[in-house]
Structure 1
Amino acid sequence: MPARKNQHYVPQHYLRAWATNEQLEVFHLDSEGIFSEGTSAVCSRDYFYGNPPIVETELAGLEGYQARPINRIREGDNLTDLTGQTLKLLYSFVTTQRSRTKATKETIRSGDPFLREAVKADLDSNQYNDSIEWTSDLTEEEKEDTLVDASLLGTHQYIISLGVFGYISISDLKPVMLYNVTDQDFIISDAPTVHDIPQYKHNHEITVAGLSNRGLQIFCPIDKYRTLLLYDPAVYRFDTNSKKQILIKSPSVVDQLNLLQFHNAEDIIMFDSSDESYIRSLYERSDEVRQREERTISLETESGIAKELPITPAYQIPSLSPNLPNCTTMTHLPYTKRRPASQSQKEKNLVNKMFNEAGAPDLGLIYAIRTFESFLDLE
């Protein structure tokens, strides 16, 4: 196999916490089958980030840095042991992981019909004659496919760059570790980072939560015993121990946290020692939490033609929220779409500047990764 052809959208270093001898038990949502599969084979696609694999090479270096806080926690460090640079790496891992998945890419691809119509109009008007030299005898449909795929890939590369710098948007969120002391393990999916807004989602009919929303909670499994929770401290208070832990002693709460993975999953659930009957029992309950509402967004072409585009975003807020212990909610605080302390605009301005300077999406993502490494003075 050519070097870096097989490109992961969930890193192997992350998946290994649920593996034994590099093997995972994998539940497939479509077939309901359970199979043993290697960490090298799951959550990956050929040339997922493009070919040649220059972006994949940069992402591999980024993964090495972002693995540092994950590995430290798995080796016994607590959140109280992580400061400064290491916490930023942890937050960046959480936001990057959400942005790079197949689920994100498929949501982008839902705009394919609209984009294809615009590309066809541009080709018909010979707009690309001076900027593209076609190197082979492609049909008009093949030219459309090439341009659409390039545009969709470029959009994904931009979103991944926002994920890399997502720690800026969520730097005001507080961390707590949900520590599982029951006999039932935490599980993981191919879209492991879950956003929720339990305080406001029902009254305000919120289906999708961004990094800057008030009342945000972000769940990210770390291993079979730990799930990281980042939360809006203006809305929630958690009574933790001295290690910033909340001990999860109730099997029902473990079930609720595991159901979040069924809610978010695109294709598969992965686990180690959980028995098959437990996984299937959660699958039977997944309708309790899994939400996939269709939304309509308005898009406008450069020529001013407006289109209404129906999409079903992969990343939606779960229907039900875990009943977490030691949590107090500030019910008096009114809802506003954005947290005043979030610096999401600073993040977007920074990434936009880098992409404008780079001139191409793949170069923009590479520039973003290298700038991130420079900002954090990583070695």
Structure 2
Amino acid sequence: MATNKNQHFVPRCYLKPFTLDGENKVINLFNIDRERHIHFAPVKHQCSRDYFYGDNPQLESAIQFVERSYASTIKELLVDGKKLNAKHKTILRRFWLLQHLRTEAACKRAAEMNNEMGSTFRAEIKDFKISIKDAVEMAMMTYADSMDIVDDLKVCLFKNKTRTPFVTSDDPAVLSNKWHLSDKRANFMSFGMHSAGALLFLPLSPKVLCLCYDGDVYSIGHTNGWVPVKNERDIKHFNQLQLANCMANIYYQDKDHSSSINKLYEETFHIRPERRHRFNYAVFDYEENGYERYRVVEKEELQENDNALFHYESIHPEPTNWPQHIKVRRNGAVYTNDTRVGYIRYEKIKERTSGGFRRERPGV
């Protein structure tokens, strides 16, 4: 049996720098559903559920190990002038991945995807329907099996030099992709953590934000891993990703910033995706020269015995503009073999059974 009944899917060690005076007791939040601020909310009740990870003590222990490593790393990095070293980078990448996979929002999306797939193909509900707890267990298995998937990404820390703080949320580990969302070659393709141009955002405190990025696609000027941010517009664009990605709550340290949170909400609400995934369907149309051709259809057009293809596509948040520090390399590199694999990073080619990959320049 797990030792803790109240289990946090966003841990208190992560939220601590955003709490009042960093004391890890109370925090200010803005609830999007009710469009209401709640000041001095107890941290122990935030982002938690009874036995969210089930009652497996080994799983709970493994998660706590990652959290302890993260907590000690943050304690070092929030000291001004601390150089970002290889150990820090590994811990930050691994914590981002764990946090990205395990939130209630992420697990709810996984359960909805699985259940909709079962209903689409008229499978026995018992064969497909999963609960959020099932999705949590699947997420933890994914983490254990592929925790090195983001290890090839570079890491930098943005130091906030403005009066506007970084905010965080109940789903703070954001995956996005500036290059993929703006380059017409990637139109009609989805992207993931293996993709060329991946960007992994995680606020660490009101003054520090971590970014893991594809160094073959982006150029970010830094000193010892640190990037100063002096323009409040850039802070706004970082914060937009939190509001666009969160499930329900935005967290911030100082209640005096409530009005700036209201303004952020007014300027950002329209970029929040109505749904976080999309299903695409295609049915067999005809065969020509040994190739099968499929026709895209709506779900309602699928028939009982159709030879059909099913494609799941994640919908990711995109700010109204990107922070000016994230620049695309004109002579960088993305890799594709013209299949649905899309554009991936060089380190991910060897993991693919398909070949024929070629290099293209992201800035062309």
CA drift at 1:249:
0.3
**Structure 2 segments unaligned to the other structure (5+ residues):** 283-304, 337-342, 353-364
Residue in 2 that maps onto 1:29: 32
Q: Give the TM-score of the pair, scaled to structure 1.
A: 0.72
Residue in 2 that maps onto 1:252: 233
**Is residue 2:209 matched to residue 1:227?**
yes
The partner residue of 2:171 within 191, 197, 210 is 191
**Is residue 2:70 matched to residue 1:66?**
yes
Q: Deviation string for 1:175-206 (max 9, x for gaps)? A: 11111001111000111111221122132236
Letter in 1 for 2:279: T
Q: Deviation string for 1:257-311 (max 9, x for gaps)? A: 1111101101110001251110010000114543345511569xxxx99888897
SS in 2 for 1:40: helix
Residue in 1 that maps onto 2:15: 15
The partner residue of 1:92 within 90, 94, 99 is 94
Q: Is the 8 A contact 2:200 2:213 kept in 1?
A: yes
Kindly report which structure 2 residues correspond to 1:151-166, keeping only aligned pairs within 5 A, or say none. Answer: 153-164=133-144, 166=146
Residue in 2 that maps onto 1:108: 110
Q: Partners of 1:295 and 1:319 in 2: how far apart?
A: 20
Q: Partners of 1:310 and 1:326 in 2: how far apart?
A: 31
**Is residue 2:322 matched to residue 1:327?**
no
Q: Is the 8 A contact 2:102 2:136 kept in 1?
A: yes
Q: Is the 8 A contact 1:108 1:155 kept in 2?
A: yes
SS in 2 for 1:279: helix
- More moved, 331-340 vs 220-229: 331-340
Q: Partners of 2:49 and 2:189 in 1: how far apart?
A: 28
Q: Deviation string for 1:60-90 (max 9, x for gaps)? A: 233212323222212346343x22x443222
Q: Deviation string for 1:113-167 (max 9, x for gaps)? A: 5547645466xxxxxxxxxxxxxxxxxxxxxxxx9446x5344323233335655
Letter in 2 for 1:322: W
Residue in 2 that maps onto 1:340: 346
SS in 2 for 1:195: strand
Residue in 2 that maps onto 1:265: 246
Q: Deviation string for 1:218-253 (max 9, x for gaps)? A: 111111111111111111112222x22211000111
Residue in 1 that maps onto 2:300: none
Q: Partners of 1:306 and 1:154 in 2: how far apart?
A: 30
Q: Partners of 1:311 and 1:288 in 2: how far apart?
A: 23
Q: Is the 8 A contact 2:241 2:317 kept in 1?
A: no
Letter in 2 for 1:17: P
**Number of aligned residue pairs:** 313
Q: 1:100 to 1:120 in 2, by over 3 A?
A: closer
RMSD (Å), alpha carbons = 3.3
**Structure 1 segments unaligned to the other structure (5+ residues):** 123-146, 347-379
Q: Partners of 1:41 and 1:121 in 2: how far apart?
A: 33
Q: Is the 8 A contact 1:295 1:311 kept in 2?
A: yes
4+ runs deviating over 6 angstroms: 304-312
- More moved, 207-216 vs 7-16: 207-216
CA drift at 1:13:
0.4
Q: 1:338 to 1:271 in 2, by over 3 A?
A: same
% identity of equivalent residues: 21
Q: Is the 8 A contact 1:96 1:164 kept in 2?
A: no
Letter in 1 for 2:194: S
Letter in 2 for 1:95: L
Q: 1:298 to 1:107 in 2, by over 3 A?
A: farther
Residue in 1 that maps onto 2:261: 279
Q: Partners of 1:265 and 1:66 in 2: how far apart?
A: 21
Q: Partners of 1:66 and 1:119 in 2: how far apart?
A: 42
Q: Partners of 1:318 and 1:96 in 2: how far apart?
A: 22
Q: Give the TM-score of the pair, scaled to structure 2.
A: 0.75
SS in 2 for 1:177: strand
Q: Partners of 1:52 and 1:30 in 2: how far apart?
A: 33
